[in-house]
Structure 1
Amino acid sequence: MPHISVVGRKSWRVRFAILSLYLILSVGAVTMVVPFMLMVSTSFTSNVDAQEFRIYPKFWFDDSWLYRKFIESEYNEDILLYSRVAGEDHGDFRELSLPEKSSEKQAKEYDEFKLSLPLKYTLTAHAYSVSRGKISLEGVFLYRQFLEKRFGGDIEKANQEYGEARDYFDMQVPRELWWMRDFEPAKTTKYADQWEFKKSLEPRFLIPVPLEAMYREYVKAMHDSDLPAVAQAYGKPIESLTDIEVHRTLPVSPAEAADWEEYVRREAPFQFMIISPEAETDFQRFLSRKYHGDLSLFNRNYFGEDTARYYISWTRVPLPETPPPESFPRADYSDFIQQSVPMKYVQMQTPLTLYQDFLRDRYETINGVNGAYGTTYASFAAIELPTKATDAYQLATNKQQIRRQFTWRNYRDVTDYIILHGRSVFNTIVLVACTILITLTINPIAAYALSRFKLPQTYKILLFCLATMAFPAEVSAIQNFLLLKQFHLLNTYWALFLPGAANGFSIFLLKGFFDSLPQELYEAAELDGAGEFQMYRRICYAMSKPVLAVIALGAFTGAYGSFMWALIVCQNPKMWTLMVWLQQMSGWAPMSMVYASLVLAAIPTLLVFIFCQNIIMRGIILPMEK
């Protein structure tokens, strides 16, 4: 029978009340759905757009935001690196705007040029995250696949060769700092593998070392970070850092020559210098002065007891063609450059100068370059690396693939983390299954005993069961922990589900339902010769399936969502459940990845509700009707 009669519904007041009720319910639904949608939307983001908090990610429909995410990933989430490569000054990737893309010819030839560069002249793109160490950009994902194939998926073998102690392949590409003079990675197996991986990459994963930017920043710092002061000293207009010319050899202008020499002697990386063989005599004189003419001391420092390699004269000591990796020779080579090498014998060879030579060899004249690319360069010296334009071209030609990759990147990382870490999925399945089984065994039996046998203490027992609901679980945590420790059950599955086997509310709910069953059912069963266990199993248990479904759902959500108790009683990571690992992940992962983990963690509960909602609703309504 409806609460409001058909006649009553015709009243405007009643209709207004019904409308108000629906509006209130709608607002309540929105306040529940919108936060969830915001969480799902944020789970697709990265650092650059995680603070937008929109119903849908902007990069799905806005190419400008997709470009920002693409650049953030390509330059390893390092805005300083991007600023140096692009020759601009940015403090955040959100400041970037979508530039004009290059022509297809320019983009393809620039890729060809990058593949021709020595590996020490390039950095690996999409390779590591400077902000969060375990985020897997596209290059990181490929690097892990490379290592898994290299070691046949055996992480212990990788640990043995690399001298590490990892649980699974969570490595990032080692960071490269080729613009620093003192950067020289140790020649280890890991370094060799990184080199082989880098050789296998497509050109879009290579970034030319921004040495020109480092030189320009150095010059600016030499003049107290005042560009007008640089312009005044050089006697030419300089409005931005890119107006500072990076000379290959010692400039003619005294002011520029002084800055160039200072940079070469103190900061320039050795691999970007070419020292003329004509400087060999100066090098030999320098070594003779440094070692005070003691050639035997020099030989012992360089070759130890290997007398066969000893030099018999200073004039026999050659000038190294490349920077030597050994400690003594490298130190002498460094001191020679800092103190003695004549600047007329030094030439800077950078990715930019090589690119200019690349275009000169291909097109011979600047007009040929401008005609091929549609540019307006005045000379080869005016050419800059087309990094921004080719990045925009890469985005335009692979837009859907890049958008799809950014959409699922966080979920891929979380899934890998869950699957590869310990036995989290298996432990969670065991915990949930055992918890549901023991809950649906102990609680119905206890409720049946209280309902079937009219004990004088029944209501006192019920009151005791309900009293347990008045205190949070943390109150009894210490006692339960000490009890489990006494029985040597810590770090076992028993410790996870035994303390919650009996539930006061479940016993109270089931007893109320059993009490509502007609007494005639038991009498008829007794006349048919049924025992207590048969009456319990075939009458009470069979008829209480909707209520048991609600209790099972509560047991499932409680066991599945618990992490504190699992962390306390199982401190061995091999026994950690899914929620413990996700809680550990939240300590290092960015907000977007944490949200992705929450969305994935919510899927099992959502599926249970979707497929069991009819049983759940019957379990809620049926006891009330009884």
Structure 2
Amino acid sequence: MPIIAPTDHKMVKGRAVVAAIYLLLTIGSMAMVCPFLIMLTGSFSNPFDIERRSLIPRFLWSQDDRFMRLLANIFPPQPRNSVQQMKSFFPDCPEDWQIWAAIGDERAQTDGWAETQFAELKDPARRACLDAAAKDYHEFMANWDLRETTLSYNTLYVGLFLKDRYQTLDKFNAAWELSIDDFMKIDASEWSGEPFDLPTFVPLDDARYQDLLAFRQAYRENRFSPCFKGAPANLLRPSCLRFTWEHYVRALGDQGKALGDPSQLPFPVAPDAPAPLLEVWHAYLMNSFALRHIEIQVTRERQDAFRKFQIDRFRTPEYAGRVFERAVTTWEDLPLTPTVPDEKRSGVWFDFVRTHVPVTEWTIRDTLPDQAFQKLALNRHGTLDGVNKAYGLNLTDMRQLQVPYRQAILVTFADYEWKITTSDAFNNYRAVIEHLFRRGTAVRNTLILVILAILITLTVNPLCAYALSRFRLRQTEKIIVFCLTTMAFPAAVSAIPGFLLLRDLSLLNTFAALVLPGAANGMTIFLLKGFFDSLPQELFEAATIDGASEVQVFFMISMPLVKPILAVSMLSAFIAAYAGWEWALIVCQDQRMWTISVWTYQFSQTFGSQPFVIMAAYVLTSIPVLLVFLFCQNIILRGIILPQMK
């Protein structure tokens, strides 16, 4: 019987009720769909737009957003002073830009700034200059020393790279002097936090550092970022130090302002520069410059002074050898070198150079990428005028030339815009697939567990409900109450006795431990019994008269008539088995028995600082649940709408 009579449909009141019902259904559907769309959009995000919580990704129609997303990948939050380096390459960046999430909220500001960058690309004359600078940069980076580079990498690929490099955890643990049980847990935080801008930084040339150099080489070859293949710029850039010079000048206040625009000052400064600039430059060298780029002249007098300096500090060669962890018998085994020695001896060398070698006698080495590129450009174009003409600049000093990483980024974006955008959008999903769905037995374990859970649910519960309904036991009500009572206890309460019981039965780390505790469900039995009770007794009597056995009656008559509730039971069993990670983590601590849901939880704990990747993992793992629900929905609706009994 319909809720609204046919005659009422033609009345205003009836139509208003129908409209209200449809409105409520629409609002309810939106309340369910909108959160999923926000999560779906978040799974395509990066640090720039993750905090927007929008229903549709804005980068689909906004070129400005696509450019800013590229910059967020090139200058991510992880490396030291990443945004400060971006401001050095892009001097017109707003001063208040510090955190990418906050930058992404300023849509009008980011759109306007991005348009100013695109103006150069739209000018044919400027585009030719950008192409020339980008070409020279690409040639420069092809052979640049990896030790003086900075990599904006995806931490999700660290474990995959080291797994391919070492093959086994035993080899890796021995090389890194660690004790981990999964490559996914490798953090390698020092790779993104390398303080290359600190005055006394010298990398420790150990196994970790050699792996970092190999990782950088993989990115230089675009193995983890194929969208940049052929592009002049990628996620690997030289460790330029101009930004430290600009920051030092700005921090001087009025004295720095008197020198001019910091972004237009020469770097490094020539010995014949004006006295005010040279004074600031010498102070910068002494206090803020990375001294590994310094070279000194070694004379007999300085060797003697260095020996006395070490004697005052260590007293004996043997003690110095213990400090430096090397064999030392005489002070001649620890000579003064023109450049910084290994990491263990670097501190002594730095202290001596600062206190015994005048700063005017320091020489900047070509390991400084800023200076190295200036020489490459001069060799390529002959003169300063040639460089100005090729790059479209108006420099008065060759030392004003910056590494054209900005120009290379603009050309890369112009030529590979959608390729980079598409790769970036699906990069989170690729990383999740690599970590979760290619993890050996995870998919197999999940498939086996789901099949076992569904089979047991569709066997145990219907048999129990059929017996309680068909045979009219005196204890039927008590049994039903007992089954329902078990649902009153929280899962956390039953977890401990359940674990102890499975341990005593030696069932830990088995599929039985995952399936047996939930084999009989009180609510499912109660619902099935109600369905069986609703079936007319005439059906069973007719089947008995025709000679059907009780098994035939159960499988051929009763079961087909309760398909809707069986579909609900199957859906519940699937969700419980597929999405249950807490119980699985308790009773199956062996990682070889972990399912996709357990690995997803572990994944979310390991990479919690990257919510966009976590959202991608949730989207992928929710797809099977959605497909199963859609499949069961047809059966449920058919059981409700179509008459099952005649």
Superposition TM-score tier, normalisation by shorter sequence: 0.7 to 0.9
Structure 2 counterpart of 1:488, one-letter code: S
CA contact (8 A) 1:122 1:206 kept: yes
Encode CA deviations 1:234-257: one digit per residue, 9 max, x unaligned.
xx343x532554344546555544
The aligned runs of 1:572-583 (5 Å cut-off) are 572-583=590-601
3-state SS of 2:73 partner? helix
2:370 to 339, 352, 357: 352
Residue 273 of structure 1 corresponds to: 294
Residue 369 of structure 1 corresponds to: 387
Structure 2 counterpart of 1:342, one-letter code: P
Residue 57 of structure 1 and its aligned partner are, at CA, apart by 1.3
Alpha-carbon distance in structure 1 between the residues aligned to 2:369 and 2:479 = 82
CA contact (8 A) 2:465 2:525 kept: yes
Structure 1 counterpart of 2:75, one-letter code: Y
Larger deviation: 100-109 or 472-481?
A: 472-481
Residue 229 of structure 2 corresponds to: none
1:398 and 2:416 correspond? yes
CA contact (8 A) 1:250 1:257 kept: yes
Residue 168 of structure 1 corresponds to: 183
The aligned runs of 1:157-236 (5 Å cut-off) are 157-164=171-178, 165-168=180-183, 174-175=191-192, 176-199=194-217, 201-202=220-221, 204-220=234-250, 225-231=251-257, 236=258
CA contact (8 A) 2:45 2:425 kept: yes
Alpha-carbon distance in structure 2 between the residues aligned to 1:166 and 1:512 = 50
If the length of structure 1 is used for normalisation, what is the TM-score?
0.84
Larger deviation: 574-583 or 163-172?
A: 163-172
CA-based RMSD of the aligned residues comes to 3.4
Distance 1:553 1:566, change over 3 A: same
1:51 and 2:51 correspond? yes
Alpha-carbon distance in structure 1 between the residues aligned to 2:385 and 2:274 = 28
2:623 to 600, 603, 607: 603
If the length of structure 2 is used for normalisation, what is the TM-score?
0.82
Residue 107 of structure 1 and its aligned partner are, at CA, apart by 0.7
Residue 30 of structure 1 and its aligned partner are, at CA, apart by 1.7
CA contact (8 A) 2:147 2:213 kept: no
CA contact (8 A) 1:492 1:575 kept: yes
Residue 408 of structure 1 and its aligned partner are, at CA, apart by 0.9
Alpha-carbon distance in structure 2 between the residues aligned to 1:385 and 1:476 = 64
1:342 to 351, 355, 358: 358
Alpha-carbon distance in structure 1 between the residues aligned to 2:486 and 2:253 = 74
Alpha-carbon distance in structure 2 between the residues aligned to 1:15 and 1:76 = 56
1:104 and 2:103 correspond? no
Distance 1:455 1:621, change over 3 A: farther
CA contact (8 A) 2:202 2:343 kept: no
Alpha-carbon distance in structure 2 between the residues aligned to 1:7 and 1:296 = 109
3-state SS of 1:123 partner? strand
3-state SS of 2:98 partner? coil
The aligned runs of 1:79-94 (5 Å cut-off) are 80-87=81-88, 88=91, 89=95, 90-93=97-100, 94=103
Residue 349 of structure 2 corresponds to: 333
Distance 1:119 1:511, change over 3 A: closer
Residue 612 of structure 1 corresponds to: 632
Structure 2 counterpart of 1:264, one-letter code: L
1:446 to 457, 461, 464: 464
1:283 to 278, 282, 302: 302
Distance 1:14 1:229, change over 3 A: same
Alpha-carbon distance in structure 2 between the residues aligned to 1:424 and 1:327 = 45
1:16 and 2:46 correspond? no
Alpha-carbon distance in structure 2 between the residues aligned to 1:293 and 1:618 = 92
Distance 1:499 1:621, change over 3 A: farther
CA contact (8 A) 2:44 2:612 kept: yes
Structure 1 counterpart of 2:46, one-letter code: S
The aligned runs of 1:481-560 (5 Å cut-off) are 481-560=499-578
3-state SS of 2:81 partner? helix
Residue 50 of structure 1 and its aligned partner are, at CA, apart by 0.7
Structure 2 counterpart of 1:86, one-letter code: K
3-state SS of 1:22 partner? helix
Residue 91 of structure 1 and its aligned partner are, at CA, apart by 0.9
3-state SS of 2:50 partner? coil
Alpha-carbon distance in structure 2 between the residues aligned to 1:162 and 1:391 = 35
Residue 554 of structure 1 and its aligned partner are, at CA, apart by 1.6
CA contact (8 A) 2:246 2:262 kept: yes
Alpha-carbon distance in structure 2 between the residues aligned to 1:7 and 1:306 = 106
Alpha-carbon distance in structure 2 between the residues aligned to 1:157 and 1:113 = 35
Distance 1:16 1:41, change over 3 A: same
CA contact (8 A) 2:464 2:525 kept: yes
Structure 2 counterpart of 1:108, one-letter code: K
Encode CA deviations 1:372-410: one digit per residue, 9 max, x unaligned.
223333332332232323212211211111111111111
CA contact (8 A) 2:75 2:86 kept: no
Structure 2 counterpart of 1:83, one-letter code: Q
Larger deviation: 420-429 or 387-396?
A: 420-429
Alpha-carbon distance in structure 1 between the residues aligned to 2:643 and 2:176 = 63
Distance 1:286 1:22, change over 3 A: same
- How many corresponding residue pairs? 596
Residue 594 of structure 1 corresponds to: 614
Encode CA deviations 1:475-529: one digit per residue, 9 max, x unaligned.
5444433433443333332222222211222222222222333333333433444
CA contact (8 A) 1:249 1:347 kept: no
Larger deviation: 163-172 or 97-106?
A: 163-172
Larger deviation: 169-178 or 436-445?
A: 169-178
Identity of aligned residues (%): 34
1:324 to 337, 341, 365: 341
Residue 420 of structure 1 and its aligned partner are, at CA, apart by 5.0
Residue 326 of structure 1 and its aligned partner are, at CA, apart by 6.4
3-state SS of 1:333 partner? helix
3-state SS of 2:363 partner? strand
Alpha-carbon distance in structure 1 between the residues aligned to 2:43 and 2:595 = 22
Encode CA deviations 1:62-100: one digit per residue, 9 max, x unaligned.
222222221222224348223235325431232653224
Alpha-carbon distance in structure 2 between the residues aligned to 1:284 and 1:168 = 48
Alpha-carbon distance in structure 1 between the residues aligned to 2:16 and 2:506 = 64
Residue 127 of structure 1 corresponds to: 153
1:42 and 2:42 correspond? yes
Residue 465 of structure 1 corresponds to: 483
Alpha-carbon distance in structure 2 between the residues aligned to 1:184 and 1:271 = 7
Residue 108 of structure 1 and its aligned partner are, at CA, apart by 0.8
Residue 45 of structure 1 and its aligned partner are, at CA, apart by 0.7
Residue 559 of structure 1 and its aligned partner are, at CA, apart by 2.1
Structure 2 counterpart of 1:268, one-letter code: F
Distance 1:598 1:120, change over 3 A: closer
3-state SS of 2:349 partner? helix
Structure 2 counterpart of 1:48, one-letter code: F
3-state SS of 1:287 partner? helix
CA contact (8 A) 1:548 1:619 kept: no
3-state SS of 1:322 partner? coil
Structure 2 counterpart of 1:123, one-letter code: T
Give ranges in structure 2 of 5+ residues lacking alignment.
122-126, 222-232
Distance 1:66 1:407, change over 3 A: same
CA contact (8 A) 2:150 2:237 kept: yes
